[in-house]
Structure 1
Amino acid sequence: MAKEIERKFLVDGSGWRKQADDGITISQFYVATGEGRTVRIRIIDGTGAKLTLKFGGAVRERDEFEYSIPLEDAQAMERFAIGNVIEKTRHHISHRGYVYEVDLFKRALAGLVIAELETADDVADADLPSWAGREVTGEAAFYNASLAMNGVPDAS
């Protein structure tokens, strides 16, 4: 079992782009959600797939179990998706010794850009990149499962 410890930020502007890698394409969907738990399937660059189970509420730390699964199985399970399939490009950006994952959402979530920093460290706000805007850590409306079910929150 792994612990997912992350902070999430809405991204301001496009300054992050000049530091970003080429990114990977992610298509993900949920086959089960409940209070404090999700079951997600993720297809990466159309070549690999993972099954992820997450447990825990709207907090910075959650239990996470992740397993590689056959791509064909993941593609077949998409017909059981609840909510919308999320499509996004994930870019990795190094800043002051940390790697940020910046998700540029597509389709129904187009225009939404969220950065995640997975670390147990307490990174001071002054050490965050300038493009890291409002922190939305712990705001369940910005969890991918909620985005799949409800779309972009009004507050974004």
Structure 2
Amino acid sequence: MPKSLADGHKKVAILTTKPANPAAPTVAELTAGIDASCAIMFSDFTWSAADSDTVDEKALCDVGNATAYGASNWDGGFTLFRYFTSGGASDATADAAFQAAKVKGTTLYVYVRDTSKLSTDAWASADEIYLGGEVVTDTPQAGEGTGYIKRRIPVAFQKGYDNIAAAA
């Protein structure tokens, strides 16, 4: 099987409602969510497992240290482009991702597919999701004032779902 270039392949679904099974969201749930793939800036998108906590688990007879992995950790955050009408108001449809994430303390369910499928390809049963997460948003941060109007949304993972698949 050939390798796949990464550009244009991450599909991001933001759900404002908890899926029936967050570890196996259905295609219908993912499709009903906000497709944020084109609303997120590529250069600072962070969505990954991070180093797990470690616990020293050395027996009395061990020479040297012995470490075990403890609680899992994840790292996340993304910058959302803002979309406006010609009159300057928020565009209800195009700006949906920002509107969902703009209030500090909002719980969201975010799922990211990163396969050889394009970001614009529809969700399908058994699509690999490299990381899904229940996250809480922090206060949006203004950018440096160049380029498009955008806001960085730091998130704190409450739960992470590694290497799962979309359910039928």
Using the size of structure 2 for normalisation, the TM-score is 0.26
Larger radius of gyration: 2
- Normalised by the length of structure 1, the TM-score is 0.27
- Bigger fraction of residues in strand: 1
The answer to which structure has the higher helix fraction is 1
